[in-house]
Amino acid sequence: MSSLNLEGCNKCKMNVAVYKRNYSGEVLCRSCFLNSIENKVKKTIGKFSMVKYGDKVAVAVSGGKDSLTLLYILHKVFDYNTRGKLIAITADEGIDGYRDESLQIVKEFCSRLKIENRTLSYRDLFGLDMDESIMLRDSTKISSCSICGTFRRRAIDLLAESCGVDVVATAHNLDDHVQSFLMNTFSGDIERIGWSFPEPVEYGLHGIKKIKPFIGLYEQEIIFYALHQEIPFQSAECPYMHESIRTEVRQFLNKLEESHPGIKYNMYNSVLKISEGLKNQTSVKRSAKCLVCERQSTSEICSVCKTLQILMKKKSSR
Given Zn ion, ligand SF4, none, residue 238, with its beta carbon under 5 to 8 Å by kind, binds ligand SF4
Q: Which long-range contacts (CB under 8 A, 24 or more apart) does 151-154 make?
A: 151/91, 151/93, 151/122, 151/125, 151/126, 151/304, 151/307, 152/91, 152/93, 153/304, 154/125, 154/295, 154/304
| Residue 86 C-alpha from the chain's centroid | 17
Whether 238 and 95 have beta carbons less than 8 Å apart is answered as yes
Give the whole-angstrom CA distance, residue 291 versus residue 200. 26
Given ligand SF4, Zn ion, none, residue 57, with its beta carbon under 5 to 8 Å by kind, binds none
Determine, following the binding rule CB under 5 A, whether residue 290 of this chain makes contact with Zn ion: yes
308 Cβ contact list (under 8 Å, min separation 6): 126, 128
Question: Is the CB of 148 or the CB of 182 nearer to ligand SF4?
Answer: 148
Question: Is the CB of 166 or the CB of 219 nearer to ligand SF4?
Answer: 219
Q: Min. distance of Cβ 252 from ligand SF4 in angstroms?
A: 18
Determine, following the binding rule CB under 5 A, whether residue 32 of this chain makes contact with Zn ion: yes
Q: Which residue stretch of 47-55, 257-265, 281-289, 300-308 sits at the interface with Zn ion (rule: CB under 5 A)?
A: 300-308
Give the whole-angstrom CA distance, residue 116 versus residue 104. 14
Determine, following the binding rule CB under 5 A, whether residue 34 of this chain makes contact with Zn ion: no
Q: Min. distance of Cβ 289 from Zn ion in angstroms?
A: 9
Give the angle subtended at the CA of 193 by the CAs of 187 and 199, to the nearest 5°. 160
Q: Min. distance of Cβ 205 from Zn ion in angstroms?
A: 14
Given Zn ion, ligand SF4, none, residue 71, with its beta carbon under 5 to 8 Å by kind, binds none
Q: Is 84 helix (H, G, I), strand (E, B) or coil?
A: coil
Determine, following the binding rule CB under 6 A, whether residue 240 of this chain makes contact with ligand SF4: yes
Of 188, 193, 214, 191, residue with least CA distance to 273: 193
Given Zn ion, ligand SF4, none, residue 160, with its beta carbon under 5 to 8 Å by kind, binds none
Determine, following the binding rule CB under 6 A, whether residue 105 of this chain makes contact with ligand SF4: no
Site residues, ligand SF4 (CB under 6 A): 93, 130, 144-145, 148-149, 238, 240-241
